[in-house]
Amino acid sequence: MLAKRIIPCLDVKDGTTVKGTNFVNLREAGDPVELGVRYSEQGADELVFLDITASYEERKTFTELVRRIAANINIPFTIGGGVNELSDVDRLLNAGADKVSVNSAAIRNPGIIREIAENFGSQVCVCAIDASFEGGIWSCYTGGGRNKTDKELFSWAKEAENSGAGEILFTSMNHDGVKTGYANEALRRLSETLNIPVIASGGAGNMEHFRDVFVEGKADAALAASVFHFGEIAIKDLKAYLKKENINVR
């Protein structure tokens, strides 16, 4: 059984790491490169950097930041935000990223997932899905949670897998920043219906939530932000706790 991964996520706006609740009310959390180095040294398995306003503002993810990150850390990292075409993927990989995350662009043009997989390999393509549970349905959103679409979480995740996505990064907008635990029921359903890894995002507030997302949610990786950024949970302590709970971590 593959080891479960712990992945700090750095939401970046105007070159600074920020964190909000339910995708709004952002507050600053520090320099993304410095935080990336800290997490790398503390034992994070991977990092995710999201340029959270790139899709909304229709601009390119900052290549220079990617270069600075790559020069300073030695663990895999994923870049997302404003990835709309193959040239964006090529630019980010050449700058040092290991994977790219597509969200809004993939919903607008599902063919981009296939293009990335065919040109760079499925392992490079992470399909990020932001969804909100409304009226009994998980509805997918684009533009950093601003625009509701007609896509439904489970069918869209399967379509993304069939198109060649290597991983699904599911963020529950209802759970984002609230620290009451992950959307384990939805995560378990995703994990049981997909054949690719599922990364859980949204809801981490304590170490038990990480245990539950692996045991109940059957997630392959757990992504979190504020509990790491503001020193509430140390990655080393979290991994020691998970090992005591008989969860296989690196």
Tens-place pLDDT, residues 51-60: 866 544 444 5
Active-site residue identified among 51, 130, 212, 220: 130
Please say whether the beta carbons of 117 and 86 come within 8 A: no
Task: Output the furthest CA–CA distance in the chain (Å, rounded).
Answer: 46
pLDDT at 54: 55
> Does residue 220 have an active-site annotation?
no
Q: Which residue has the tokens 């993810």?
A: 61
pLDDT in tens, 17-63: 765 555 444 456 568 888 899 999 999 999 999 886 654 444 455 78
Note if 176 is an active site residue: no
Residue pointed to by tokens 């990835």: 83
DSSP 3-state of 124: helix
Pick from 118, 52, 59: which is nearest to 84 by CA? 59
Tell me which of 11, 51, 88, 220 is the catalytic residue. 11
Q: Which helix (H) or strand (E) is 88 found in, with range?
A: helix 86-95
Residue 132 clears pLDDT 90, i.e. is over it = yes
Q: What CA–CA distance (Å, rounded) separates 126 from 135?
A: 28
Amino acid 57: pLDDT: 43
CB 73 within 8 A of CB 79: no
pLDDT confidence of residue 56: 46
For 66-76, the pLDDT digits (tens) are 899 999 999 99
pTM of the model: 0.92
Instruction: Enter the tokens of residue 151.
Output: 């896509």
* Domains of the chain (ranges, CATH numbers): 5-244 (3.20.20.70)
Name the residue among 37, 46, 42 with its Cα closest to residue 9: 46
